[in-house]
Amino acid sequence: MSEQIRRAVCPGSYDPVTVGHLDVIERAAALYDEVVVAVLHNPAKQGTFTVDERIAFIENALAPEVRERVRVEPFAGRLLVDVCRDVEADVIVKGLRGGTDFAYELPMALMNRHLTGVETVFLPGAPEFEHVSSSLVKEVAKFGGDVTGLVPDDVLRALTEKLAEG
C-alpha cells in the first residue's frame, strides 16, 4: 500500500525572494514530503524582476537536499485554492513576522478554507528576519542602503545592477 504524499504550497510574489522566505520554504520542506513554491504574478503589472528571474533566484538559493523536494512554479490570474487543487496540496504554509502579518493573512486563510477546505499553517518567522520584506529590501537598496545578508547574493547583485540602470 503506497502512502499518500504530503504536499504543501508556499505562495507569494517573491519579488525578490528574501532570507525570510527561504527560511519558511526550508522549514516547510522539513515538515512535508514536497513543497510547491507558487510564484503568483500579474502579467499586466510589471514587477521589479521578471517571473523567470524570481524563480531562478529561489531555485539557486536552495540547498541541494532541500531543492530535490521543492518545485518552483509560476502562476498568474488564478486563485491560490485552484493552484493548490491542481498540484494536489491540501496545505498552504505561510510565515508570520508579527501581528500585522497575522491581520493580513488570517482573512485569506479563512477565505481559502471557505472555498475548498484547504488549511493554512502559519510558521513563526525567525526573529532575526522580522524586519525583512521584499518591499523594504528594495526601498533600502534603491536609496543606497546595505541589504547584504537579507537576500541571496545573486539577488543582491541584480538589485545593484537595476539601480545602476536607473
List of residues contacting ligand PNS (CB under 6 A)? 11-13, 40, 79-80, 108, 111-112
Q: Which listed residue (21, 27, 54, 138) is catalytic?
A: 21
Which three-class secondary structure string do you get for 61-80?
HCCHHHHCCEEEEEEECCCH
134 catalytically annotated: yes
Instruction: Using CB positions, name the residue nearest to ligand PNS.
Output: 12
Q: How many CB atoms lie within 10 A of CB 63?
A: 11
Return the number of the residue (47 or 66) whose C-beta is nearest ligand PNS: 47
Based on the residue annotation, tell me whether 162 is a catalytic residue of this protein.
Answer: no
Question: Minimum CB separation from ligand PNS for residue 142, in Å?
Answer: 19
Annotation says 142 is catalytic: no
Residue 110 Cβ vs ligand PNS, minimum distance, rounded to whole Å: 8
Choosing from 67, 97, 113, 162, the catalytic residue is 97
Q: Is 21 marked active-site? A: yes
Residue 18 vs 144, nearer CB to ligand PNS: 18
Catalytic residue positions, numbered: 21, 45, 97, 134
